[in-house]
A and B are shown apart, each in its own frame.
Chain A
């Protein structure tokens, strides 16, 4: 899923207080799972904003609404569009994709991001999420025992660990980050495929990554 984190309250408040009527729009997919921008978080933030506005004497009315997904046309139903039409601004609690989708859909309504979008990751335990994929566009997981060297090695090394790998941890953040290459090594050893890691891998073609410019995927076979 896409993992995001709520922006600091004051940053959101600064945007909100420029308007009279604001809609907090939650997203029911990834950011609900990572507890950043779902119905619950929308509700908490709406209360905080309303309270702060009252305390500080700012004239702002805050409304809440959450849809299943902000990155898909079909979930912007009539009820949603009606709510948007009633406000001066929307704070999207979706990921960066959701915010932009809203911006494109809502025409002349101001839109602000309520979250900082972080990465494609997984839940490790309640309250902890970690990056797993960088969307490089040409997946090499099959060659590395299912551990991604592009996203999980701090230097995206493809030919083995740097000199800073110690006790299974990455030198860049030994407290929190495992050395991807220790994980790759352990997995490949378990799979009996260590000798594959002795092969020299050529430079990666990054044109399939963001480096090639913004990407689109087109499937002629399913297009309407």
Chain B
């Protein structure tokens, strides 16, 4: 991508990617309470270790502090948040309102997701929204930013006499190369790019072979030149975790070889970290990859060590 291009959002993540650095993003799960101290503590673990941090939105359909509020605290703690928004809980009115609020609060990156179904969470009796899907959400944000209009077509200004003040998010989206049908996975990515995604974070990668096949198609279509792709990494902590990922997370495969390594290891946690370091090194060699997205939910403390060992530190200013 051309370096002279004017920035769309001016977020740090955008700058780092535009300057051609290998980006590192992390993840911070807001607390299941109003406890701000937890956010500050987690933020402390991630500060200076990653370029930006995803703040999850009622992840796995379990109620947590809103991604907007937690994002604001993360920002105050010196992190750059990537505020996640799912289509499960809010309709187009609520989401646009939050996007305006995010801009006003200085939250510059927004990640658009369909969202886990509420059946898996702690309020399975709730009603879902799905007013739009993640691709439509991406496009709604892009139109707000670039065309300066709401989804209904109205201009983003308070009154006709007052100025247009539009939100300017750096727009992210997710990609899962491991879901089915495989042939549609690159098409999904192409549609997200067409809708206006600026960067992509992938599902965590264990099946490197399948990931590489997907990336080959991505590069063949030239999509890596239109969007920054950050490869998802989740360090395995135990055999149990690996088996859980393999058996319980739909659309995710964990090769037997990795599970064997964990089984044989004296210290599975260390072995898991070693595997993650190797994965990061392997991923860096794949053409078209712009960075890694390290998802260590409830293990934020471990990210610094991993980043250090993978040679990702220090981060650019």
With a cutoff of 8 Å between Cβ atoms, the chain B residues found around residue A185 in the complex are 181, 183-184
List chain A residues, Cβ under 8 A from B179: 161-166
Tell me the complex Cα distance, A157–B129, Å.
11
A206 contacts across to B, CB distance below 8 A? 131
Contact pattern, A 194-218, Cβ under 8 Å of B = 1, otherwise 0? 0001101111101000000000000
Known: A164-B179, A181-B181. 17 other contacts (CB 8 A): A155-B117, A159-B133, A161-B179, A161-B188, A163-B251, A164-B117, A165-B180, A166-B180, A166-B251, A167-B180, A174-B250, A182-B181, A186-B181, A198-B187, A200-B139, A200-B194, A203-B92
Please provide the chain A residues from 47 to 105 with a CB less than 8 Å away from any CB of chain B in the complex: none
B172 to chain A, nearest CB (A): 15
CB contacts (< 8 Å) of A197 on chain B: these are 184, 187
B73 on the interface (CB 8 Å rule)? no
Question: In the assembled complex, which residues on chain B have CB atoms less than 8 Å from the CB atom of A166?
Answer: 179-180, 250-251
Number of interface residues of B (CB under 8 A): 37
* Interface membership of B195, Cβ < 8 A: yes
A148 to chain B, nearest CB (A): 14
Binding site for B on A (CB under 8 A): 154-169, 171-174, 179, 181-182, 185-186, 197-198, 200-204, 206
With a cutoff of 8 Å between Cβ atoms, the chain B residues found around residue A198 in the complex are 187, 190-191
Rounded to whole angstroms, the CA-CA distance of A204 and B92 in the bound complex is: 11
B251 and A165 contact, CB distance less than 8 A: yes
Q: Evaluate contact between B136 and A159: CB separation under 8 angstroms.
A: yes
CA distance A177 to B10 in the complex (A): 44
Given A159-B136, A159-B191, A174-B250, also A154-B184 (CB < 8 A): no
Residues of A within 8 A of B203 (CB): 163
- Which B residue's beta carbon lies closest to that of A154? B117
Q: Which of B128, B130, B174, B175 has the most chain A CB atoms inside 10 A of its CB?
A: B130
Give the residue of A155, A165, A200 whose beta carbon is less than 8 angstroms from that of B181. Answer: A165
Residues of B within 8 A of A167 (CB): 180
Q: Which residues of A contact B133 (CB under 8 A)?
A: 155-159
Contact call A159/B181, Cβ cutoff below 8 A: no
Quick check: A179 and B180 within 8 Å, CB to CB?
yes
Q: A155-B133, A166-B250, A171-B251 given as contacts; is B117 within 8 A of A161 (CB)?
A: no
CB pair A156–B130 under 8 Å, yes or no, is yes
B251 with A164: CB separation less than 8 A: yes
* B114 CB-CB contact with A under 8 Å: yes
Q: Is B135 within 8 A of A159, CB to CB?
A: yes
Q: Is the CB of A171 within 8 A of B250?
A: yes
Q: Are A160's CB and B188's CB within 8 A?
A: yes
Contact partner of B191 (CB less than 8 A), chosen from A162, A165, A200, is: A200
Report Cα–Cα, A111/B131, bound state, in Å.
36
B140 at the interface (CB under 8 A from A): yes
> Which residues of chain A come closer than 8 Å to B187, judged between CB atoms?
160, 197-198
Task: With both chains docked as a complex, state the minimum distance between the C-beta of B177 and any C-beta of chain A, in angstroms.
Answer: 9
Task: Contact check, B136 vs A161: say whether CB atoms are below 8 A apart.
Answer: no
